[in-house]
Amino acid sequence: MSIIKEVKGVLHLEEVALPAVAEKFATPCYVYSRAAITANWQAFSEQLFNENSEAPHKVCFAVKANSNLAVLQVLAELGAGFDVVSGGEIARVLRAGGEPANIVFSGVAKSDAEIRYALTQDIGQFNVESDAELERISEIASAMNTTARISLRVNPDVDAKTHPYIATGLEDNKFGIPMQNALTTYQRAAVLPGIEIVGADCHIGSQLTELEPFLAALERMLALVDTLEENGITLRHIDMGGGLGVTYTDEQPPQVAEYIQAMLKRLQDYPHLALYLEPGRAIVANAGVLLTRVEYLKFNGHKHFIMVDAGMNDLLRPALYQAHHNIVNVETNSSTAAITGDVVGPVCETGDFLGQNRTLKVRSGDLLAVKSAGAYGFTMSSNYNTRPKPAEVMIDGAQMHLVRARETLEDVWRGETLIPSTSLK
């Protein structure tokens, strides 16, 4: 859904004018729409939840996309499941009111402490990514006199046709168990103590804008389901991960209904098999913006620079992935002359930019909104250059809720200590 609207030349998120957010909470500042998060999640849940289905399908939000407690709370209250990749994310979900049974624990290097914590909380399942991890979970579960429900994350070797840093389904990637080894690993899991096999999992990448890679992966996973059945191993669900793309600029990803119905149609021959999905970006990316204020304009005789108070430590995606975020004036009826230049931040790196070759009507002090910033924005932020992390605000109708306070300098170095002084004599 479109969360930004213009009212008398001023951009609003739901019913709140964005300048009012900046005035109250300063900049840089992440701002999220509860209504957009809700609508985006319901687009998935309405397609998957069917009273007549034999198998209970499930939508698990990928917490790594946005782990703010208030965001997780909104989703938990909607009945969402959660895909986590660390013990810390498990703790966040539980703190936000999520149900342990609705947690799916992914990740390639789960520690002993994380496995024990997950078993203590009785989470829904582990997505196991290697034979070594399977053996370790069995050992720990047996020692704890409990049972770990597991799916194996299988690598289907499907080209997701996305940025190489966010492609995860090829043989060159670190994720998952090779398809050719999957049967042997499942047979090992079937005889290990402390292990209960419940499903199969795959995730081929992120920001996918075509259906074909999803369906190709599904075909390979269903072939595995058939092979397992022939060998006496029956699964309860198949987890096709996340990865559905969103529109940042002019991308045209499949609609949620088209994406889900295409998979459900193929699963008609498997009525006992539930479909799990793990959307993250598709739920929150376009439910948030990053507000930033122009500090200076600079022209070096060759190029214009629009210098703002948000940097790559606040929003890393442009520098890391060459990602494009639309950047717009919050107050749209400016009479200032337009300039074309790079929108850059204060971090001491040439790669510190939010956008390149952008045309904007700006002057010092103007407020800008970086759109589509709700996913992999704050969660990838850092304190590089000793910069405090920004505030996060949730808009709910006409209400503004501060859901994370801006860090202070004391917050930044909390946990650090000085060593005893010495003096030369």
List, as residue ranges, the binding site: 243, 278-281, 317, 321, 349, 376
Residue 285 contacts residue 374 (beta carbons within 8 Å):
yes
Tell me the sheet residues that pair with 238: 200, 275
CB atoms within 10 A of CB 83: 31
- The sign one gets for the Cα dihedral 315, 91, 392, 36 is positive
Q: Is 29 considered catalytic here? A: no
3-class state of residue 190 by DSSP: helix
Residue 366 contacts residue 331 (beta carbons within 8 Å):
yes
At a CB cut-off of 8 Å and minimum separation 6, what does 146 contact?
Answer: 119, 194
CB atoms within 10 A of CB 411: 13
Backbone angles phi, psi at 95, to 5 degrees: -65, -30
Closest CA to 259 of 325, 210, 201, 220: 210
What are the counts of helices (DSSP H) followed by strands (DSSP E) for the chain?
Answer: 12, 21
Catalytic choice (29, 60, 202, 348): 348
Residue numbering of the annotated binding site for pyridoxal 5'-phosphate: 243, 278-281, 376
Residue numbering of the annotated binding site for substrate: 281, 317, 321, 349, 376
Asked if omega into 28 is within 30° of 0 (cis), the reply is yes
Using the structure block, give the residue that is written with the tokens 């940097």.
311
Report the C-alpha gap between 362 and 368 in whole angstroms: 9
Please give the positions annotated as active site.
348
